[in-house]
């Protein structure tokens, strides 16, 4: 786990940022190629990726401030400059920006929603590798053989055997990517791929949270903040799936 990948003069290339960049590029490439095959307006994909990435990062940071509101009020300057993000904020913000872009450009939102979600899962897979390199989003202490020990992390506790939740999350994200491609190939109505993303990601994230060790991210009762949000995103996905199925029956 080496977050500082290389040095070019005064410039340091960090593993977390590098993997995030790789994820965004992979998402763009896959989405644009799929848009061409589906005869969608592929010229919009670059702008969708850029704007959704900007909106997603901003929303992820804002949700981090909200979930750590006590620390934010005590020391707002330090919190603004902190490295923390909440993935769910990025997902929600990215979806909202994508909806706004499609509305402005008069594109059919559900078509592009379905198009982009496999790429989002792919980008998340790369991003979690970045988390592993940096040591953030770490797991609980474990005595098991499948463990990771960080030696020089600014985030994870060092020299302690931890559950490698970042790797598990990354594997789930890549599996999710291929699953969504399969769903996209066999979908019967627009919205089904996005619905499957929301449902599957919510379930996977809910389970992974039980093994996370970075409890400073906040909680709602006995649930972590992400588990609490997962309930509502899963419900949103189920509603979207039911709506898409209803549209199929109406068209028959």
Q: What is the pLDDT of residues 161-178, one digit of tens each?
A: 999 999 999 999 999 999
Distance of alpha carbon 195 from alpha carbon 113, whole angstroms? 10
pLDDT value of position 5 = 78
- Whether 83 shows a pLDDT value over 70: the answer reads no
- Whether 252 shows a pLDDT value over 60: the answer reads no
Is there a contact between 23 and 154 (Cβ–Cβ < 8 Å)?
no
What sections of 75-144 are H helices per DSSP?
A: 76-80, 87-105, 109-134
Written as six digits, the tokens of 172 are 């789930």
Under the banding of pLDDT at 50, 70 and 90, the label for residue 209 is very high
Domains of the chain, by residue range, sit at: 4-251
Distance of alpha carbon 136 from alpha carbon 132, whole angstroms? 7
DSSP 40: -
Mean pLDDT of 219-231: 91
Distance of alpha carbon 68 from alpha carbon 18, whole angstroms? 26
Those residues with Cβ within 8 angstroms of residue 111's Cβ, 6 or more apart along the chain or in another chain? 40, 190
Under the banding of pLDDT at 50, 70 and 90, the label for residue 251 is low
pLDDT value of position 8 = 81
Annotate 44-65 with DSSP letters as a single string. GHHHHHHHHHHHHHHHHHHHHH
Written as six digits, the tokens of 64 are 């981090």
Under the banding of pLDDT at 50, 70 and 90, the label for residue 81 is low
Q: Which of 140, 143, 167, 194 is CA-nearest to residue 1?
A: 167
Average pLDDT, the chain: 91
By mean pLDDT, which of 51-60, 177-186, 228-237 is the weakest?
51-60
Q: Residue 85 to residues 56, 88, 89, 91, 128: CA-CA distances in angstroms?
A: 10, 9, 8, 11, 12
**Structure-model confidence comparison of residues 62 and 174, the more confident one:** 174
Burial group, residue 222, by CB count within 10 angstroms (0-12, 13-18, 19+): exposed
Mean pLDDT of 215-227: 84
Q: Which of 217, 213, 228, 229 is CA-nearest to residue 68?
A: 217
Handedness of CA 64, 224, 228, 172 (dihedral sign): positive
């Amino acid at each position: 786990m080496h977050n500082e990948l290389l040095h070019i003069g005064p410039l340091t290339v960090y593993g977390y940022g590098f993997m995030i960049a790789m994820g965004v590029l992979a998402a763009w490439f896959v989405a644009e190629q799929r848009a061409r095959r589906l005869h969608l307006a592929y010229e919009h994909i670059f702008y969708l990726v850029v704007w959704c990435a900007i909106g997603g990062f901003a929303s992820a940071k804002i949700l981090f401030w909200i979930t750590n509101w006590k620390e934010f009020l005590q020391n707002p300057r330090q919190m603004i400059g902190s490295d923390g993000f909440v993935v769910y904020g990025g997902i929600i913000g990215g979806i909202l920006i994508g909806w706004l872009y499609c509305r402005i450009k008069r594109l059919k939102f559900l078509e592009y929603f379905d198009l982009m979600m496999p790429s989002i899962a792919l980008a998340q897979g790369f991003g979690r590798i970045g988390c592993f390199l940096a040591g953030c989003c770490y797991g609980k202490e474990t005595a098991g053989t499948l463990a990771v020990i960080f030696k020089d992390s600014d985030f994870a506790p060092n020299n302690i055997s931890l559950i490698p939740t970042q790797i598990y999350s990354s594997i789930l994200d890549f599996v999710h990517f291929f699953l969504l491609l399969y769903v996209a190939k066999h979908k019967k109505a627009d919205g089904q791929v996005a619905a499957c993303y929301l449902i599957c990601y919510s379930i996977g994230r809910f389970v992974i949270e039980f093994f996370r060790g970075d409890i400073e991210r906040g909680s709602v009762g006995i649930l972590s903040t992400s588990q609490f949000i997962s309930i509502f995103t899963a419900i949103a996905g189920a509603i979207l799936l039911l709506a898409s199925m209803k549209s199929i029956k109406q068209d028959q």
